[in-house]
Amino acid sequence: MIGVVDYGSGNILSVRNALAMLGAEAVLCASPEALAAADRLILPGVGAFAACAASLRRAGLDVALTREALDGGKPILGICVGLQLMARRSFEGGEHPGLGWFMADVARLEPADPALRVPQIGWNDVRCRPGSPLFAGLPDAPDFYFVHSYALRCDRPEEVDATGDYGGPFTAAVRRGNIAGTQFHPEKSQDLGLKVLENFLDWTP
């Protein structure tokens, strides 16, 4: 059973619908008990980092997610702000602590080309790390749908699973052990995005 973490994020139903297209059973998890019952977890996210982090804390889901991911070794995929929450901190609207699963900071995109507006909204191709299980069976430079003003700056290059370019390189996906995340929205990225979700469902870290 796939648990989609329900903490008021805007793309929860889109993620659930995408999983349904793959024939996967998905339930919305709004309590620590529900997280514990799921076989693997997806942490979606839309909106401001600080508000999303506060919502997780209010529900006690921050501690529960850390227990399931780090202590339990349960496979978990973060999407967009869900990925950013896995970093140690974000500089969106001040400095705010994250879950600390990746040694990374969330910083604003700073494209070198002034014609490129922030946020980045639309399709962009990414360069994937060879052998990544998330991108198995995909072309060399697959296109995905992005909506973001911030991205991870990772201390450990080996944890970067894919990069994009928007007037300069940015982190498009990360992976360490049983934890992975994408800055793009696989649930909005048509067939290639569905393949990423399918790969996550098949992934055995």
Q: Residue 144: its pLDDT value, please?
A: 98
Give the integer Cα–Cα distance in Å for 122 and 143: 10
Q: What is the pLDDT of residues 72-107, one digit of tens each?
A: 999 999 999 999 999 999 999 999 999 999 999 999
Asked if 99 and 62 count as a contact pair (C-beta separation under 8 A), the reply is: yes
pLDDT at 13: 87
Closest by alpha carbon to 133, among 204, 193, 182? 204
Is domain 2-202 in CATH 3.40.50.980, yes or no?
A: no
Whether 185 sits among the annotated catalytic residues: the reply is yes
Please check the confidence at residue 116 and state whether its pLDDT lies above 80.
Answer: yes
Nearest to 68 by CA among 35, 111, 31: 35
Q: Which of 95, 81, 88, 99 is nearest to 8 (CA)?
A: 81
Q: How much is the mean pLDDT over the chain?
A: 96
Q: What is the mean pLDDT of residues 126-140?
A: 96
158 catalytic per annotation: no
Taking the C-alpha atoms of residue 157 and residue 31, their distance in angstroms, rounded to an integer, is 34
pLDDT at position 9 is 76
From the list 68, 159, 187, 198, the catalytic residue is 187
**Residue 153 contacts residue 105 (beta carbons within 8 Å):** yes
Catalytic residue chosen out of the listed positions 29, 52, 68, 80: 80
Q: Are 27 and 38 in contact (CB under 8 A)?
A: yes
- Structure confidence at residue 173 (pLDDT): 98
For residue 10, pLDDT over 90 is answered with no
The pLDDT assigned to 11 comes to: 80
Query: Residue 23 above 80 pLDDT?
Result: yes
Q: Which of 52, 159, 185, 198 is catalytic?
A: 185
Q: Is the pLDDT of residue 7 over 80?
A: yes
Mind listing the pLDDT tens digit for each residue in 163-202? Answer: 999 999 999 999 999 999 999 999 999 999 999 999 999 9
- Strand 40-43, strand 169-176: pairing: unpaired
Residue 25 among the catalytic residues: no
Q: What gap in Å lies between CA 29 and CA 62, rounded to an integer?
A: 13
pLDDT value of residue 34? 96
Tokens 């191709």 belong to residue: 125
Span 133-146, average pLDDT: 96
